[in-house]
Structure 1
Amino acid sequence: MIQAFGLTSNPRKELPPAVDDVSFEARAGRVTALLGAPGAGKTTALRLMLELQHGRGLTYFRGRPLHRIAHPSREVGVLLGDVPGHPARTVRGHLRMLCAAAGVPVGRADEVLESLGLVSLRDERLGTLSRGMDRRLGLACALVPDPHTLVFDDPAAALSAGEARGLHGALRTHAAQGGTVLFSTADPKEAARTADHVVTLERGRVVADQEAADFSRTRLRSRVAVRSPHAVRLGALLVKEARTARRSVEVVCEGGNRLAVYGSTCADIGEAAFRHGILVHQLADEIGDMGPGADAVPAARQQQAAQRRQTLSETQKSQEPSKTHITDAPEPQAARKSQEAQEHQEHQEHQESPDAAGGDRARISRAAPATHPSPGLPSTANPPLPSPDDSVTADAAPRRPLGALVLNTAKARAAASTLPPPISVRSAPSPLRPLRYEVRRATGVRTGFVTGAVVLVVSAVTAVVLARIGHTPHPRLLAAWPRELPLPPAALGAGLLGALAFGDEFRHPALAADRGTVPRRMGLLSAKLVCSAAVALLLAALTVGCNVEVLRLVFGQELAELPADLPALSAGWLGLVVGCAWSGVLAAGVFRSTTAGLAAVVAVPVVVVPLVQKVWEGPSVRTAAGFPMRVREVLLTQWPFGGERYVAEVLRLVAQPVGGAMTLSLTALLCAYLLTTLRSRVR
């Protein structure tokens, strides 16, 4: 279950906080709706609960705050807005990547796709999905780790009626299996139709915390929509008969041939029309809005409604001396008996209607209080609500009210039985399987492969042009590194791939449920550094190999010979490419931007190297000449298998201006990343 206590957002300059002291509960086994007009604070409340926004208050998910849960994605499935994911990634690839991140078997992706009816879309790109398919994919992403709690922000926004019913049916199925479901909405009808409990927000405060039946009875009004070519005459007759029977009925004309009748039923209106020989084209139950924001009707609509009421009253005065609005209140006892008889008749009609009826009948059956026994259900009129002790048990699903059980149709039970069983997740040393996740993330889109191909082509062309011009040292010729460029194409490509490793995370996040857009964990950073280093080494080797083969093909064997000091040159070349890749990763992680990561890579030879050279070669009393050899004498005398040679070579590279600048940049970026990580954890 979810328990929110005193959620309050930070004040906004002179404006009051968007959410002010919001407290409520969402019990397990039930669907809870957070209702409010646009700007009421629904999204802010959800972000405060998920610790995605700074503020005050506490939120417990089965007795623990989110920051104390080792595996947040396995406890809470979240969808705020659109599905976070790269638009070029396939549906199946995206879910398999999330499986790797959550540490669940990759077969879980196919199970979720099959249960939600998305098997035919598994090879579609995320950027080509419709709005309805995108929402269903968001539900699939939330269900991949098999969480206990689902938190959705306006899941049915911009969906058709059928798509919305399917989405809410899936949420209902999850709640029926014992999970907790919380979603926000601005439509009172949707809340009354799909939720078991409704929490109403208005101007950042809780104004109502009710069961769905109580909400429908107190904040919504059932009405009958009538369409007839003799609407005015029918309305006058209904008012006259209501006054005769001393019943409270309100008739509102909503158009030339449309009426909205409050306080009556389809049966009564149909019988009245039949007795007086009035043709009726439409007779349907509806629910009118009296929830939050109901008074915020545009002035044009208010004026139009006033004109319609005035026209209807004038017409009624010319025909019969009756009124549209019945103001004569019946006696209390008679009114009570009449209301009970009316509720009994409506309830019997809803029982006789099939379960697969339209959405309007579902609305009425939910709005009506369940005061009479139904076939196949217990005869208790008021089923016991869960006690406070029951809410302490995390996995126990409390019993729902009788009115909510009526809506559990055979179709919903069949859908619940077809869902895959919950899987047991093995404990992992980290909430993420970072290396598997990073490999699937990098290979799931074509960006890396296209970048590598472009680097190889540009390097080969550059090597041929430099060999044709001449005056280029042989090592630079093999690396395709002109003196006019600060970095070779391979180093720039490795830096770009490193910057994309974190830049894509923030542009198209896939781990949004884990306390922020991208979780700042050292395991994830280590995986990105390892993968970027492997890609950089492969790119460096392929670049030199392709350049050698192209030079041999164009100019012969003379230019394709390898230099004598190959080990030292190879170490420097590989260190340069890997350093550029790591600079891109760290800079993109610190500044949350691919552009910033690539700028940090270019800044090393353009800005940092000249500064290091100026400091190192400037006037000084003492110099550090011979530093690598002295370090070797002190530390590297007892290395086995001649390892001191390699370490000495590394020290020699670090002592060079480019190596020193790269080391300095990497150290600064790593310290900045650690600082931002600590700041996010302290907050």
Structure 2
Amino acid sequence: MIEALALSKRHGSRLAVDDLSFTVPDGAVTGLLGPAGAGKTTVLRLAVGLDRGSGLVLFDGVPFAALPRPAHAVGVALDARAVHPGRTAGGHLRALAAGAGVPRRRVGEVLERVGLVGAQGLRPAAFRRGAAQRLAVAGALLGRPRALLLDDPFAGLDDDDRGWLQQLVRRHAEAGGSVLLAATRAADVLGCADALVVLRRGRLAARGPAAELLAGAGSSVLVRASDPGLLAAAVLRWGGSVDPLPDGALVVSGLDMAAVGEVARAEGVALHELSLRGADLDAALQSLELPETALVGTRRGPGRTAQPSQPALDAQPVPDAAPPAAPGAPAVTA
């Protein structure tokens, strides 16, 4: 479990983070959302002691600086390009493993996990953005940590890499881990986040289960189906509203994506597309002002709240996500 308690940080005269508190329970992915300059990176840097401020971040009840083997408890990826230019991808990970007290054999395991086996001998300077992010995530996974902190890993990714990363963090949470995932765009985390923490100018704008916040932001669902007419009639019976588009797609309001999927299944209608839609979802989330309540994500998989007295993390590691299908060729460019 990750607990942020009254975090504050100033950069000169500017208050970068202002009295921020939230909790990421085990078994959950939490999206830390906000535009550039909202304070997301500062929160992550405060969590691992790279910035100094007031407040505290606890990992299973222990501050990062007090963890006896930090890489075995917390996996961190803050900058995908923070790689020595003279090292290969494998060399970079071997250096990280040596510093963290991780066996060298783990390097091959994490490279396979992120689909970069064929890129082990290549220099990361030649990587495209998706491959660089995969390498950064591999470094975060080296110690089999329970908690993951990832800073805007979706920036610049194509759809394949975005889907891969969403699947990886989702499975890490389902194995009992906790994931704090900073992102600039809400659309990047909607496929994997249980809960959202929305920042505006360093202050908490909203927090809570993702489905509730999205409903409050007025989001709708875009659907393309094999029988739009049949699906539209069923949605109306279930209490939703439907706005047909000229190309045959439907915009559904009043039901979330899960409910629309259930309606389609009950009616035997095949879905070709099911996605969230909004004129400006990020702006809508930023405008929300919700009560100060504890953040508890809706868990989709097995997870439990870890106690400070639990056995050492390396004695009971969180299993890695099952490897998604690796791309047909190494995810690099010459």
TM norm structure 1: 0.37
Tell me: CA distance 1:88–1:353, structure 2 relative to 1, closer, same or farther (3 Å). Answer: farther
Contact 2:73 2:146 survives alignment (8 Å): yes
**Equivalent position of 1:530 in the other structure:** none
**Equivalent position of 1:118 in the other structure:** 116
Contact 1:192 1:213 survives alignment (8 Å): no
Superposed CA RMSD in Å reads: 3.4
Quick one: which of 242, 245, 249 aligns to 1:283?
Answer: 249
Tell me: CA distance 1:52–1:384, structure 2 relative to 1, closer, same or farther (3 Å). Answer: closer
Tell me: CA distance 1:54–1:83, structure 2 relative to 1, closer, same or farther (3 Å). Answer: same
Quick one: which of 349, 355, 365 aligns to 2:264?
Answer: 349
**Equivalent position of 1:2 in the other structure:** 2
Q: Partner letter of residue 361 of structure 1? A: L
Q: Partner letter of residue 54 of structure 1? A: R
User: Alignment partner of 1:60: what SS?
Assistant: strand
User: Alignment partner of 1:101: what SS?
Assistant: helix
1:506-557 deviation per Cα after TM superposition (whole angstroms, max 9, x unaligned) = xxxxxxxxxxxxxxxxxxxxxxxxxxxxxxxxxxxxxxxxxxxxxxxxxxxx
How many percent identity over aligned positions? Answer: 35
**Equivalent position of 2:138 in the other structure:** 140
Contact 1:350 1:361 survives alignment (8 Å): no
Q: Partner letter of residue 106 of structure 2? A: R
User: Alignment partner of 2:35: what SS?
Assistant: coil
Quick one: which of 243, 249, 274 aligns to 1:361?
Answer: 274
1:171: how far off?
A: 1.2
1:77-99 deviation per Cα after TM superposition (whole angstroms, max 9, x unaligned) = 11112242212311122222222
Aligned length: 279
**Equivalent position of 2:315 in the other structure:** none
**Equivalent position of 1:542 in the other structure:** none
Q: 1:19-418, aligned counterparts within 5 Å?
A: 19-224=17-222, 264-265=241-242, 269=244, 280-283=246-249, 347-349=262-264, 361=274, 363=276, 391-393=305-307, 416-417=321-322
Q: Partner letter of residue 94 of structure 2? A: R
1:124: how far off?
A: 1.1
Larger RCO (alpha carbons 8 Å, 6+ apart)? 2
For residues 353 and 86 of structure 1, the distance between their equivalents in structure 2, rounded to whole angstroms, comes to 52
1:6: how far off?
A: 0.6
For residues 147 and 91 of structure 2, the distance between their equivalents in structure 1, rounded to whole angstroms, comes to 24
For residues 172 and 214 of structure 2, the distance between their equivalents in structure 1, rounded to whole angstroms, comes to 23
For residues 252 and 128 of structure 2, the distance between their equivalents in structure 1, rounded to whole angstroms, comes to 29
For residues 120 and 11 of structure 1, the distance between their equivalents in structure 2, rounded to whole angstroms, comes to 42
**Equivalent position of 1:372 in the other structure:** none
Which structure has the greater CA radius of gyration?
1
**Equivalent position of 1:334 in the other structure:** none
**Equivalent position of 2:12 in the other structure:** 12
For residues 87 and 250 of structure 2, the distance between their equivalents in structure 1, rounded to whole angstroms, comes to 45
Contact 1:192 1:198 survives alignment (8 Å): no
Tell me: CA distance 1:417–1:134, structure 2 relative to 1, closer, same or farther (3 Å). Answer: closer
Contact 1:26 1:181 survives alignment (8 Å): yes
1:211: how far off?
A: 0.5
1:585-626 deviation per Cα after TM superposition (whole angstroms, max 9, x unaligned) = xxxxxxxxxxxxxxxxxxxxxxxxxxxxxxxxxxxxxxxxxx
Contact 1:73 1:147 survives alignment (8 Å): yes
Q: Partner letter of residue 171 of structure 1? A: V
Tell me: CA distance 1:350–1:122, structure 2 relative to 1, closer, same or farther (3 Å). Answer: farther
Q: Partner letter of residue 202 of structure 2? A: G
Tell me: CA distance 1:169–1:107, structure 2 relative to 1, closer, same or farther (3 Å). Answer: same
1:25-71 deviation per Cα after TM superposition (whole angstroms, max 9, x unaligned) = 01111101111122211111111122111210011011000111111
Q: Partner letter of residue 98 of structure 2? A: A
For residues 220 and 191 of structure 1, the distance between their equivalents in structure 2, rounded to whole angstroms, comes to 17
TM norm structure 2: 0.73
1:118: how far off?
A: 0.9
User: Alignment partner of 2:274: what SS?
Assistant: helix
Contact 1:77 1:147 survives alignment (8 Å): yes
**Equivalent position of 1:573 in the other structure:** none
Tell me: CA distance 1:73–1:348, structure 2 relative to 1, closer, same or farther (3 Å). Answer: same
For residues 182 and 17 of structure 2, the distance between their equivalents in structure 1, rounded to whole angstroms, comes to 14
Q: Which runs of 5+ in 1 are unaligned?
A: 227-244, 249-262, 271-279, 288-338, 368-382, 397-414, 420-683
For residues 142 and 221 of structure 2, the distance between their equivalents in structure 1, rounded to whole angstroms, comes to 42
Query: Which has the larger share of strand?
Result: 2
Q: Partner letter of residue 247 of structure 2? A: H
